[in-house]
């Protein structure tokens, strides 16, 4: 199994890696590295073009209360701007932000896959598989 952040984030979003292990992986990083990962995750979410329905479902799926700061921000208009605000939240909001953005990427990318890649694609992250039967 790889530790390439792009692969790890996509495996988490696709449910190929347990979220708890992803949270432990993220939590073990230095604050600057966490900020880098959140920025990368935010960019992936933007590329997946989340709909308002995707956003609402990501809040529910992330396990966050709708009153948690990252959830409040992402529910506002203009997700691109809100993602920029989420990745700038203080250190004590980073795990919540990570959970929310992983959920958002998973949902929005799944929608994108159904919409744009139903007949096949060359996106390498759409061809990840569980290796050796374990995520």
- Report the candidate in 127, 120, 101 with the shortest Cα–Cα distance to residue 44: 101
Residue 134, pLDDT score: 40
3-state secondary structure of 5: helix
Confidence band of 50 (pLDDT split at 50, 70, 90): very high
Q: Say which residue the tokens 């994108």 belong to.
A: 112
**45: closest CA among 125, 131, 118?**
125
Q: Would the pLDDT of 39 be above 50?
A: yes
What is the per-residue pLDDT across 101-128, written as a single tens digit (0 to 9) for each?
999 999 998 877 766 656 665 555 555 5
* Residue extents of the structural domains in the chain: 5-115
pLDDT of residue 121: 55
pLDDT in tens, 60-109: 999 999 999 999 999 999 999 999 999 999 999 999 999 999 999 999 98
Nearest in space to 51 (alpha carbons), one of 69, 74, 67, 73: 74
- Kindly report the length of the chain: 135
pLDDT above 70 as % of the chain: 82
Q: CA 43, CA 130: separation in Å to the nearest integer?
A: 24
């Amino acid at each position: 199994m790889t530790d390439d952040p792009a692969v790890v984030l996509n495996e988490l979003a696709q449910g190929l890696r347990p979220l708890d292990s992803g949270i432990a992986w993220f939590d073990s990083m230095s604050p600057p590295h966490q900020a880098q990962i959140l920025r990368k995750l935010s960019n992936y979410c933007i590329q997946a073009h989340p709909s308002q329905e995707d956003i609402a479902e990501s809040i529910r799926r992330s396990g966050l209360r709708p009153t948690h700061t990252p959830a409040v921000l992402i529910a506002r208009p203009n997700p691109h701007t809100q993602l920029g605000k989420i990745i700038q939240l203080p250190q004590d909001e980073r795990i919540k932000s990570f959970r929310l953005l992983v959920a958002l990427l998973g949902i929005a990318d799944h929608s994108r896959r159904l919409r744009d890649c139903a007949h096949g694609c060359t996106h390498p992250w759409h061809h990840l598989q569980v290796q050796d039967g374990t995520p």
